Chains A and B, each alone.
Chain A
Amino acid sequence: MSGHALIPRNSLVWLLTAQIVALMPHLPRLPLWVAGLWLGCAIWRVQIQRMRWGYPGLPVRMLALAAVTLGVYLAQGTLIGLDAAVMLLLMLFMLKLLEMRKPRDALVVIYLGLFIVATAFLFDQSIALALFQCFSLLVLVAALVGLQQTPGRNDPARAMRTGGILLLQAVPLMLVLFVLFPRMGPLWAVNTPGQQARTGLAESMAPADVAELARSAELAFRVAFDGAVPAQPQLYWRAMTLTSFDGRRWSQSPLASGSMPRNWVPQGEPYRYQVITSASHQPWVFSLRGASSDDERLLLNRDFILQARRPLSQGMAYRATSYPDSLLEPQELEPLQRQLSLQLPEGMDPRSRAFADELRQQHPDDAELLQALLSHFNREPFHYTLRPAPLGRHSNDEFLFDSRRGFCAHFAGAMTFVLRAAGIPARVVAGYQGGEVNPRGNYVLVHQFDAHAWVEAWLPGQGWISVDPTFQVAPERIEQGLQEALQGEGSFLEGSPLTAVRYRNIGWLNNARLFWDDLNYQWQLRVLGYQSDRQTEFFRRWLGSADWQRIGLVSLVIILLCMLPMAWWILRPARRQLNRQGRAWLKLNRRLARLQLQAATGEGPRAWEQRLLLALPGQRVEISRFFDEYVRLAYASRQPGGGGSPQLERRLCALLRALPRSRPPRPITLAGLPDGESGR
């Protein structure tokens, strides 16, 4: 490619295609005018190519830069942060079209495109995106190839094929780097995209929030158990405890976070499992009751709930062990904790308080009172529904005595209220309940609609025990899941008619969904989950240790081992399929190379012979004999190979024998230059 050449038409088409493809994954996050901007730039560039319009001058470009910066500011509200920076980059990527004059500028566009392909992974790391970005890479490399094509050979399919071959050649290196490249911590803290619209648990709970969650079929997390998956009623995934109540909302107490001495007694059979969550930008992680984990990124808070030390800005996989029958703080409840667990807003819900007093008079024993309250939920005509009646100021009163229609959050909130009013320390636990077993990968899928709230009450001697009023009202919710519980009502995943989970009863569709989820699970586990800890584990297993010196050495060796066959493959055309005289020629030249004698690329056999005769006057006879035979074999007959005479080999041997071990340095005069007269 000569420096002053223009960009050929076909490579412009390639470049525009590559731009669209590179921009596509970003488009859903961007305002619509961005597409318009791209279209404008593309049309302008095409008009430049058609020599209708000119390149924009400096003022226009400055104006465009300012306008685009303003646009980013208006769209994102800031110019700092990942979203804004990426958007600005995309804009400049588009504007670069307008100053793309030479092939060198086109190269800049392609390299930028490669970078933009990488930035898409900051927002999404799914398989689908990864596959699409492979395609983007292919198109970008094809554009790169197209840029190098000469006018006579600008077949787009050819560029695509060459690009594909180049990428395939890069795959082994990519795999090696994936396995061996050190996973460094972030070099600088990036404010990861604040996706406020994400569904998931929040710090506080009002019943409406849970109903909102129940409408989402989004995946919350996946769990793989060592051994069999426990029964559904065992699967209470604790995410947080809600201790403070303001009459409307239950929220976390500020004390809940932070570690404390763990006075708990593990009991019974443990469950061991691995949880894989996606990025939630919240610190909660999910575990069964009585959990502990060796993971350094997790801590156990004072309510015996596993928590991440930092909000999950990316997906995370962690292992945990749970003793579901263990005793939590069985002896004594700390005074402050006790006070917090009995706190109630003043002047709210008088009827509930009266009901609690009444219960207390009938049942002086805490455990009995608890039982009685549960059977109250069981006996009275409570109804489990996702369409409860709206509640007024005294929400618990209205729920317990008037409407009696609600779902887990109502039941858990009301029960905790009554327990506290009766003097029993209690709190609401929010999390998920149940999950769907994917038989294909033998793991449990927990969706957002599995969100659940239940109650923990403290009894002397037994510590915190879990009770679930929802189980008393709608046991099928716990045993079979939300879909079964709402069968009569038809409110399951209301408002998302296109979600595959809704159609679980259609066999093939359900199979396809589970298959796709398994694929995603494996992707998350094996590709995204391959972080520094698993890498270290991998090194320990295969190399015996994980020190960087050894790893560096091994990676070098592996890369060399990968590159050598490739180098051989690339250099292979130099040695064409050799026949008899070809082999002899090669052998002779290798030997002569040791004497610092080398045939030039374009040197014919007779010219080379002349030069050798001058350089090695002592071997004149052998040299002439060999070359005569060589020329006779290679050129004097039409058949390749020139018959089966071993004469050539004999002469080669004679010549090789006659050659000196080394040669006194002496200038070689060039004889027999290709101006004819190849001397004889």
Chain B
Amino acid sequence: MRDVLKQATDAINQVLLGKQQAVRLAVACILAKGHLLIEDLPGMGKTTLSQALARVMGLSYQRIQFTSDLLPGDILGTSVFDRNTGAFVFHPGPIFAELVLADEINRATPKSQSALLEAMEEGQVTVDGATRPLPEPFFVIATQNPASQGGTFSLPESQLDRFLMRLSLGYPAPAAEKVLLQGDTGRARLDTLAPVLSRAQLQALQAQVPQITASEAIIDYILRLVTRTRESHLCAWGLSPRASLGLLAAARAWAMLENRGYVIPEDVQAVLPAVVGHRLRASDDPAGHGGGSLAQRLLNEVSAV
């Protein structure tokens, strides 16, 4: 069954060229039931990645373009009066999909952002006093341009913490870009993608992730990593327990992608930059973009064995 994971990542890699690492992390994020934040400049393939993921995983897909005048109702849905039945009928918003792409999330106002973020945390939405469950699985990919761009509302730390991983795609390698320029565009290929997984299969895989063995040695390693962030002078604050839980879950998912029944330190190291990069802030960096280098220092300075 785990072979399908390889097929799935291979399929996505054919659309998003030369980004194997990011694709694997994104797949691991879905397996660990986490939400994904992709932060990069426009045109780097953020949307392509999310659409490809949705297709390959066989999930229903909705895209919400966040703008500064977006209202919470535009995300969650509204009740409309039906003249025939004489009652209000709820028209579900785009959030009622299995994979939601919240594009350019930092362009919306905090009020609208929090509507989405609440749904992410609770797995349900409350509109007009009625609580409605969101589909299962429910997976949000948010994209944003680098936070300090003009006209944006950057996500506060508490909301960043809701995302299991933050990825940055980066420029493609010249070879990959050459293929891109020579052949069909990624978008065109997207339509040819066939679902590799069914929803049931995905849920089964997600259920298997917590079964992956994490030995005491691995738990200790994660504790050392987390403790270092809490005690180091370089970090403005340490990692939360939610972060350490997320780190373990992501490492398990990564081990599953590696087709291994247990976690080894390399799994933790593979997911660590993506999991903690957006949760750390260097104490001498008010803008908060130093998380990546802090994660790298953690990897180098905390003994793995």
Contact = CB atoms under 8 A, between A and B. Distances in A.
Interface of A: 1-2, 4, 150, 152-153, 585, 599-607, 631, 634-640, 642, 672, 674-676, 678
A4 B217 CA distance: 39
A638 B216 CA distance: 6
A152 B238 contact: yes
B184 interface: no
**Residue of A153, A601, A635, A638 most packed against chain B (CB within 10 A):** A635
B213 A637 contact: yes
B233 A602 contact: no
A639 B299 CA distance: 25
Contact of A637 (B21, B215, B237, B272): B215
B156 to A, nearest CB: 18
B230 A602 contact: no
A676 B270 CA distance: 5
Given A152-B237, A635-B264, A585 B218 contact: no
B241 to A, nearest CB: 14
Contacts of A152: 230, 237-238
15 contacts: A150-B231, A602-B298, A602-B299, A602-B304, A603-B304, A604-B265, A631-B264, A635-B265, A637-B213, A637-B262, A639-B216, A674-B299, A675-B21, A676-B24, A678-B264
- Pick the 9 closest A-B CB pairs, nearest first: A604-B265, A678-B266, A674-B269, A676-B270, A604-B266, A636-B262, A640-B216, A604-B304, A602-B300
B177 interface: no
Contacts of B258: 678
For this complex, into which size category does the number of interface residues on chain B fall?
Answer: 20 to 34
Contacts of A631: 264
B300 A635 contact: no
B266 A601 contact: no
Contact of B263 (A635, A672, A676): A635
B233 A1 contact: yes
A195 B262 CA distance: 79
Contacts of A4: 284
Interface string B213-236: 111111000000000001101000
A2 B213 contact: no
B287 interface: no
Given A676-B24, A678-B264, A638 B303 contact: no
Interface in B287-305: 298-305
B283 interface: yes
B299 A635 contact: no
Given A150-B283, A639-B216, A678-B264, 8 more contacts: A601-B301, A602-B301, A605-B264, A606-B265, A634-B305, A638-B215, A674-B299, A678-B266
B110 interface: no
Contacts of A150: 231, 233, 283
A585 B233 CA distance: 31
B146 interface: no
Nearest to A589: B305
Given A152-B230, A675-B21, A675-B270, A2 B284 contact: yes
B137 interface: no
Contacts of A604: 264-266, 269, 304-305
A604 to B, nearest CB: 4
**Residue of B238, B265, B284, B299 most packed against chain A (CB within 10 A):** B265
Contact of A602 (B270, B283, B284, B302): B302
A631 B24 CA distance: 23
**Residue of A1, A634, A676 most packed against chain B (CB within 10 A):** A676
A399 to B, nearest CB: 81
A150 B238 CA distance: 11
B18 interface: no
A533 B88 CA distance: 104
Given A635-B217, A636-B213, A605 B300 contact: no
Contact of B305 (A1, A599, A636): A599
B294 to A, nearest CB: 13
Interface of B: 21, 24, 213-218, 230-231, 233, 237-238, 254, 258, 261-266, 269-270, 272, 283-284, 298-305
B301 A674 contact: no
Nearest to B218: A635
A678 B263 CA distance: 12
Contacts of A676: 21, 24, 254, 266, 270
B167 to A, nearest CB: 13
Nearest to A642: B215
Contacts of B233: 1-2, 150
A1 B234 CA distance: 9
A478 to B, nearest CB: 73
A640 B215 contact: yes
Nearest to A582: B305
A635 B215 contact: yes
Nearest to A675: B21
Contacts of A636: 213, 215, 261-262
A153 B233 CA distance: 11
B303 A602 contact: yes
B270 A674 contact: yes
Contact of A585 (B21, B213, B263, B305): B305
**Residue of B217, B262, B298 most packed against chain A (CB within 10 A):** B217
A154 to B, nearest CB: 13
A640 B217 contact: yes
A465 B303 CA distance: 86
Contacts of B215: 634-638, 640, 642
A631 B218 CA distance: 11
A599 B305 CA distance: 10
A640 B213 CA distance: 12
A2 B24 CA distance: 38
Given A635-B262, A635-B264, A637-B213, A605 B305 contact: yes
Contact of B266 (A585, A642, A674): A674
Given A152-B230, A637-B215, A607 B302 contact: no
A604 B269 CA distance: 8
B269 A602 contact: yes
A601 B298 CA distance: 10
Contacts of B265: 604-606, 635
B165 to A, nearest CB: 13
Contacts of A678: 258, 264, 266, 270
Nearest to B261: A636
**Residue of B215, B231, B283 most packed against chain A (CB within 10 A):** B215
A493 to B, nearest CB: 61
Given A636-B213, A640-B217, A2 B305 contact: no
A635 B237 contact: no
Nearest to A605: B305
B122 to A, nearest CB: 29
A152 B213 CA distance: 33
Contacts of B261: 636
A457 B285 CA distance: 91
A573 to B, nearest CB: 11
Contact of B283 (A2, A153, A640): A2
A603 B14 CA distance: 32
A679 to B, nearest CB: 10
B259 to A, nearest CB: 10
Contacts of A635: 213, 215, 217-218, 262-265
Contacts of A606: 264-266
Contacts of B284: 2, 4
A80 B104 CA distance: 74
Contacts of A642: 215
Contacts of A639: 216
A506 B64 CA distance: 93
A4 B261 CA distance: 49
A605 B263 CA distance: 12
A401 to B, nearest CB: 89
A639 B217 CA distance: 10
Nearest to B297: A602
**Residue of B214, B216, B272, B305 most packed against chain A (CB within 10 A):** B305
Nearest to B269: A674
